[in-house]
Structure 1
Amino acid sequence: MRLDLLSDLNAEWAARRTAVLITDIASDEQRLVREKEVGGDFLAKELQERLRHGKSGLVEREGRQFFLTVQVPTVRVIIIGAVHISQALAPMMKSLDLDATIIDPRTAFASRERFPDVPVLPEWPDDSLPDLKLDRYTAVVALSHDPKIDDPALVAALRTQCFYIGALGSRKTHERRMQRLMAAGVAETDLARIHAPIGLDIGAVSPAEIAISILAEVIATLRNERRRSP
């Protein structure tokens, strides 16, 4: 690979943008297609298909073969609230190569002992989320069930392109939440982005079952977003 292509590919990775390195099998020529360029490319259909699945592979177009090296940012899930559901959810996400981070200012809950395998930030969401630079490859799930913790996280997430935003609570709880967020200046159209009650409706009862329903909804939304992208 040419050094300039490697440098450009690394720059796209650092900026958490998708990119595809295209190698012409016959000539060995290479070129880089950035996220914003995919739609107008000669291989647009093939690029979009590969990006949807996040997998590299060989494609053929008009009798020519190309190898597409797909680079997709790691999907991050920011979990607000170091609760029992979070303890079940974080390991599940790790098994699917999703980067999970726990945020909860309550240090009695947000501890390494309770979450040994994921980053834990014992901070208020207002303080930690700006540094995490939420983007469209980030999901935010609010599980603390404490408005003082969940609401600021939801407001911050709604100001970004997060592909998934979910919040724990009943429909009545969510109605009250929406009133608070509108009072805080959040537009009603933005509030529609919140998945609440959180998770797919599978009749989940236990923390582990609720975690499964949340994870399923996150994945379903992620795949749907990739079908529409770029």
Structure 2
Amino acid sequence: MENLFELALKWQAENGAAMATVVETWGSAPRRAGAQMLVSKTGAMQGSVSGGCVEGAVVLEAMEAVETGQPRLLEYGVADDQAFAAGLACGGTIRILVEPVAQRIVNFEQAALMQSNGDAFALETDLSNWDQRFAGDGQHADLYAADRSTVVDGQFVQVFNKPLRMVIVGAVHIAQPLVTLAQMAGYRPIIVDPREAFGNADRFPGVQIHNDWPDAVLSDLGLDRRTAIVTLAHDPKIDDAALSVALKSDAFYIGSLGSKRTHAKRVDRLKEAGFTGGEILRIHGPVGLPIKSSNPVEIAISIMAEVTQQLRSA
């Protein structure tokens, strides 16, 4: 998962940089509040604030902010000649805060460390005088739960939640493209498979791997509302062991590979194990959106799409 604060500090040390952040949106603006784009003094950029609509204009504003050392609040909407020239044709309106990194070194250093540690935190920026501070413990619980950044009483509250995780049980072929898609979507994938021939660093380089039975591993992982669980082993000994823990957790998504017939047998086994029909309904089975997938990559796409759908509708 990209740590934009670390990159901001690196670019600042090299030649200067500014951070652009979506503060508010109206209508069909393409990015949510909290979306960020880092811009170097020379115009290099990382991230996005509009999916391409106004990036060019924001880059120029950010480069000027680096030179002046002053933050600025930008607004683009279709009624604006400047915004139309910048390419905002989606019918929405966005406000973007641009901050020179030089003015935020201390906060960005702390934010970079907290993101690296997987901590949740929120930054509060006063839009009248640009003062910025970290929110206190226990504040903005509703925003953390909704994974939402917004303006509250003139303060832009930017929420950085704990990283999303995807626990993939069964290191089968489908798991390989699914790991890649999960990483691209901002998840930290975790592979669980007691079979070392399947779950190993050669097949999943750089991925956290647990070669143990899933009931033990999942119990230790602390499955929370930022966790998706996908069972792909197609072996009841492995998949059911994972589901027995997942169904007792707060995971926002649980999905299991298999046909409708396979899932019906799975439901019967779980009922025999003491789970209620309501509890078992949490399982998305067959896993993935019904897009007529016919190969591992397409199945992985259908799974990632369904996980995203569940996350955004929660």
SS at 1:68's partner residue? strand
SS at 2:174's partner residue? helix
In the TM superposition, what whole-angstrom CA distance separates every residue of 1:97-120 from its partner, at most 9, and x where no partner exists?
210011111111111111113111
Which of 97, 108, 123 lines up with 1:21 in the alignment? 123
Correspondence list, 1:42-191, <5 A: 47=143, 51-52=147-148, 59=151, 61=153, 65-191=154-280
Tell me, yes or no, if the aligned pair for 2:191 and 2:209 is still in contact at 8 Å: yes
Cα deviation for residue 29 of structure 1 reads 7.3
Aligned residue pairs total 204
Cα deviation for residue 205 of structure 1 reads 0.7
In the TM superposition, what whole-angstrom CA distance separates every residue of 1:144-172 from its partner, at most 9, and x where no partner exists?
00000000101101101100000001111
Tell me, yes or no, if the aligned pair for 2:169 and 2:191 is still in contact at 8 Å: yes
Match of 1:42 in 2: none
In the TM superposition, what whole-angstrom CA distance separates every residue of 1:64-106 from its partner, at most 9, and x where no partner exists?
x322221211000000001000011111111222100111111
Residue 32 (1) aligns with residue 32 (2): no
Q: TM-score under structure 2 normalisation?
A: 0.58
SS at 1:185's partner residue? coil
Q: 1:205 to 1:130 in 2, by over 3 A?
A: same
Q: Between Structure 1 and Structure 2, whose CA radius of gyration is higher?
A: 2
Q: 1:176 to 1:35 in 2, by over 3 A?
A: farther
Alignment gaps of 5+ in structure 2: 1-103
Q: 1:220 to 1:23 in 2, by over 3 A?
A: same
Tell me, yes or no, if the aligned pair for 2:255 and 2:283 is still in contact at 8 Å: yes
Q: Percent identity?
A: 43
Comparing 197-206 and 84-93, the one that deviates more = 84-93
Cα deviation for residue 51 of structure 1 reads 2.7
Give the Cα–Cα distance (whole angstroms) in 1 for the partners of residues 228 and 263 of structure 2: 19
Tell me, yes or no, if the aligned pair for 1:204 and 1:210 is still in contact at 8 Å: yes
Higher relative contact order at CA 8 Å, sep ≥6: structure 1 or structure 2? 1
Residue 204 (1) aligns with residue 293 (2): yes
SS at 1:84's partner residue? coil
Amino acid at match of 2:256: A
SS at 2:262's partner residue? helix
State the Cα RMSD in Å.
2.9
Tell me, yes or no, if the aligned pair for 2:121 and 2:134 is still in contact at 8 Å: no
Comparing 137-146 and 90-99, the one that deviates more = 90-99
Amino acid at match of 1:25: L
Give the Cα–Cα distance (whole angstroms) in 2 for the partners of residues 35 and 195 of structure 1: 33
Q: 1:50 to 1:221 in 2, by over 3 A?
A: closer
SS at 1:182's partner residue? helix
Give the Cα–Cα distance (whole angstroms) in 1 for the partners of residues 275 and 191 of structure 2: 24
Tell me, yes or no, if the aligned pair for 2:144 and 2:159 is still in contact at 8 Å: no
Q: Which has the higher helix share?
A: 1
Q: 1:207 to 1:38 in 2, by over 3 A?
A: same
Amino acid at match of 1:216: A
Give the Cα–Cα distance (whole angstroms) in 2 for the partners of residues 71 and 48 of structure 1: 8
